[in-house]
Amino acid sequence: ALDLPESLYSSKVLNAVKPEKDVDGVNLGRLVHGDVCDCLVPPTVCAVMELLEDIGGKKVLLVGARGAEGAALQSVLQRRGAAVLSCHWKAPQLQSELRHADAVVFGSAKPHDVPVSCTKPGATVINCAHDPLSGKSLRVLCPAALGPLLGGNMVKNMERWIQSQQCRKWDLHSLKLQPLSPVPSDIEISRAQSPKAVDVLAKEIGLLTDEIEIYGQTKAKVRLSLLERLKDQPDGKYVLVAGITPTPLGEGKSTVTVGLVQALTAHLNINSFACLRQPSQGPTFGVKGGAAGGGYAQVIPMEEFNLHLTGDIHAITAANNLLAAAIDARILHENTQSDKSLYNRLVPVVNGVRGFSAIQLARLRRLGINKTDPETLTEEEISKFVRLDIDPSTITWQRVVDTNDRFLRKITVGQANTEKGFVRQAQFDIAVASEIMAILALTTSLQDMKERLGRMVVANDKKGQPVTAEDLGVTGALAVLMKDAIKPTLMQTLEGTPVFVHAGPFANIAHGNSSVLADKIALKLVGEKGFVVTEAGFGADIGMEKFFNIKCRASGLVPSVVVLVATVRALKMHGGGPNVTAGAPLKKEYTEENLQLVADGCCNLQKQIQITQLFGVPVVVALNVFKTDSPAEVDLVCKIAKESGAFDAVPCNHWSAGGKGAVKLAQAVEKAANQKNSFKYLYSLELPIAEKIRIIAQKVYGAQDIELSPAAQSQVDRYTRQGFGNLPICMAKTHLSLSHQPERKGVPTGFILPISDVRASIGAGFIYPLVGTMSTMPGLPTRPCFYDIDLDPITEQVKGLF
pLDDT for the residue 802: 67
What is the helix (H) or strand (E) element at residue 413, kind and residue range? Answer: strand 411-413
Among 64-73, 229-238, 243-252, which is the least confidently predicted range?
Answer: 64-73
* Cα dihedral 295, 301, 305, 308 sign: positive
With 0-12 / 13-18 / 19 or more C-beta atoms within 10 angstroms meaning exposed / middle / buried, residue 488 is buried
| Positions marked catalytic | 253, 255, 277, 288, 507, 538, 626, 655
Distances from the Cα of 242 to the Cαs of 239, 284, 565, 584, 675, in angstroms? Answer: 10, 22, 6, 26, 19
3-state secondary structure of 256: helix
pLDDT tens string 41-66: 777 888 888 888 788 889 999 988 87
Closest CA to 145 of 237, 43, 54, 233: 43
Residue 293 pLDDT class (50, 70, 90 cuts): confident
Closest CA to 505 of 555, 451, 465, 543: 543
pLDDT tens string 81-94: 999 998 888 888 88
Residue 458 pLDDT class (50, 70, 90 cuts): very high
What is the helix (H) or strand (E) element at residue 85, kind and residue range? Answer: strand 83-87
Q: Which residues pair with 343 in a beta bridge?
A: none
Do 446 and 461 contact (CB within 8 A), yes or no?
A: no
d(C-alpha 44, C-alpha 55), whole Å: 17
Residue 134 pLDDT class (50, 70, 90 cuts): very low
Q: Assess whether pLDDT exceeds 60 at residue 143.
A: no
Mean pLDDT across 522-549: 95
Mean of pLDDT over the chain? 90
Q: Which pTM does this prediction carry?
A: 0.84
Residue 165 pLDDT class (50, 70, 90 cuts): low
